[in-house]
Amino acid sequence: MRTEEVSERADTPGPALGKLNGGAVAGKDKEISWSLTKARLFQSCPRSFYYTYYLAKAGRDYDAPEEARLTAEMKRLKGLDMWVGEVVHQVIQETLEQVRNGEDVSKEGALAEAKRLLSGGWRCSQSQEWRKFADDEHPSLFNHYYKLPVNDERISLIKQKTYSSVENFMDSDVFRRIANTSTELWLPVEKYAAFRLDGLLMYVKFDFAHKDGKQLVVYDWKTGKPSGEQERQLTCYALYTSDKWSVPLPNVKACVVHLQPEIECREFVVDDTSLDDLRSYIMRTFSDMVECLRNPARDIAVMDDFGTTDDLKKCLWCNFRGVCEQGQVACGVSDDPAPEEDSAYG
Ligand code: SF4
């Protein structure tokens, strides 16, 4: 029986995995959920998915084995583009909170905050302050963690991307429209917003939403390039907001705002085609994820069941390259130039 296989491993001393399967990883009484982030990660590399959603969680236990502890540490790593996206999101969020509180806001103030977050975050990452503080203002940057140098040109690109994103937002019609909308119509954005689609628990993370007459407008800020999955992401946001605030789906307008190099706002309304596409994508990716579980009823996962990517270039920029066997080989033997980092913000 499959469950016995897991129990046997769980009780087997030796590999850290055995202990983990008998501990934090095994028997989580938690419903298996779906999100676009999970699906994308699984499709990119199932092993990386295992590290992120299973082993890293076990690594937070005080007596966790070294491999799991390191995995938890690596899960927190941020690539430079991802970090820029987070800084920009934080500045916009703080600016909107100031507007909500009736405080004065200015482009200069927003840029100064972006500069503070960039320089403070860089310093904290270099001095590993993230070991003491587990918040976003104390990031652990991938390049620092793996001792990969960042040249002056790259640093200046990071700054340029951050400042132009903030500046474009502050000068935008989108911001003016939001600031001129009564804050009573602004809708609360939960950190872990969840809803059900066909019974499946789904998580979404959008940036801002407000009511506009009979319509509801939901926004997503992007510092990266447009991605092919944007429509699915917006469909998820529209479904969540429609469900949460009881607004008919055709009355939900989902907007993706690309902040740089030029600001561009694309609006999207869910139709039957986008809904069918999302449904079939969810079914496919969710069943792929569940098939890898040794015991789906108890959400028990075993590392060997999660294969590694065939594309060794992905390993170069994978957070877990320091614990993953394939990652260590790829980083040791690959002569390929490092590819562009992926941005979690599209
Ligand atoms: S290092 Fe490569 S194989 Fe290992 S988890 Fe990361 S992407 Fe997957």
pLDDT tens per residue, range 312-340? 999 999 999 999 999 999 998 544 444 44
* Over residues 224-242, mean pLDDT: 90
Q: How many helices (H) and strands (E) does the chain have?
A: 15, 8
Nearest residue (by CA) to ligand 1, atom 1, is: 327
pLDDT at 29: 54
Domain architecture of the chain: domains with CATH: 2-75+282-333 (no CATH), 80-171 (no CATH), 183-270 (3.90.320.10)
Q: How confident is the model at residue 343 (pLDDT cuts 50, 70, 90)?
A: very low
Probe target for ligand 1 pocket from 75, 304, 309, with the most ligand atoms within 8 Å of CB: 309
pLDDT at 141: 97
Q: Tell me the average pLDDT of the chain.
A: 87
Probe target for ligand 1 pocket from 326, 328, 331, with the most ligand atoms within 8 Å of CB: 326
Beta carbons of 174 and 219 less than 8 angstroms apart: yes
* Over residues 126-151, mean pLDDT: 93
Residue with token string 């008919």: 248
Nearest residue (by CA) to ligand 1, atom 5, is: 48
Nearest residue (by CA) to ligand 1, atom 7, is: 315
**Cα dist from 344 to 82, 225, 244, 271, whole Å:** 5, 11, 25, 26
Probe target for ligand 1 pocket from 40, 305, 321, with the most ligand atoms within 8 Å of CB: 321
Higher pLDDT, 161 or 23: 161
Residues in the ligand 1 pocket, defined by CB under 6 Å: 45, 47-48, 51, 308-309, 314-315, 318, 320-321, 324, 326-327
First to last CA, the chain: 42
Higher pLDDT, 86 or 229: 86
Q: How far does the centroid of ligand 1 lie from the alpha carbon of residue 340, in Å?
A: 16
Probe target for ligand 1 pocket from 54, 304, 318, with the most ligand atoms within 8 Å of CB: 318
Q: How confident is the model at residue 24 (pLDDT cuts 50, 70, 90)?
A: very low
Q: Specify the pairing of strand 200-204 against strand 208-212.
A: unpaired
SS (H, E, C) 284-314: HHHHHHHHCCCEHHHCECCHHHCCCCCCHHH
Atom number in ligand 1 closest to CA 325: 4
Atom number in ligand 1 closest to CA 328: 1
Q: How confident is the model at residue 27 (pLDDT cuts 50, 70, 90)?
A: very low
Q: How confident is the model at residue 232 (pLDDT cuts 50, 70, 90)?
A: very high
Percentage of residues in the chain with pLDDT exceeding 90?
A: 79
- Distance CA(132)–CA(70), nearest Å, equals 15
pLDDT in tens, 168-222: 999 999 999 999 999 999 999 888 899 999 999 999 999 999 999 999 999 999 9
Instruction: Identify the weakest region by mean pLDDT among 23-27, 68-72, 169-173, 221-225.
Output: 23-27
- Using omega within 30 degrees of 0 as the cis cutoff, is the peptide bond preceding 188 cis? no
Q: How far does the centroid of ligand 1 lie from the alpha carbon of residue 117, in Å?
A: 30
Higher pLDDT, 14 or 37: 37
Q: How far does the centroid of ligand 1 lie from the alpha carbon of residue 17, in Å?
A: 17
Q: How confident is the model at residue 60 (pLDDT cuts 50, 70, 90)?
A: confident
Higher pLDDT, 95 or 190: 95
Q: How far does the centroid of ligand 1 lie from the alpha carbon of residue 187, in Å?
A: 39
Q: How far does the centroid of ligand 1 lie from the alpha carbon of residue 317, in Å?
A: 9
pLDDT at 316: 95
Q: At what angle do helices 152-170 and 80-100 cross, to 10 degrees?
A: 30
**Cα dist from 182 to 185, 215, 267, 319, whole Å:** 6, 14, 21, 42
pLDDT at 5: 26
pLDDT at 222: 96
Tell me the pTM.
0.86
pLDDT at 341: 46
Picking from 217, 215, 214, 207, the residue whose alpha carbon sits closest to that of residue 177 is: 217
Helix H or strand E encompassing 328: helix 325-333
Atom number in ligand 1 closest to CA 331: 1
Q: How confident is the model at residue 281 (pLDDT cuts 50, 70, 90)?
A: very high
* Over residues 71-95, mean pLDDT: 97
Higher pLDDT, 43 or 342: 43
- Distance CA(143)–CA(160), nearest Å, equals 19
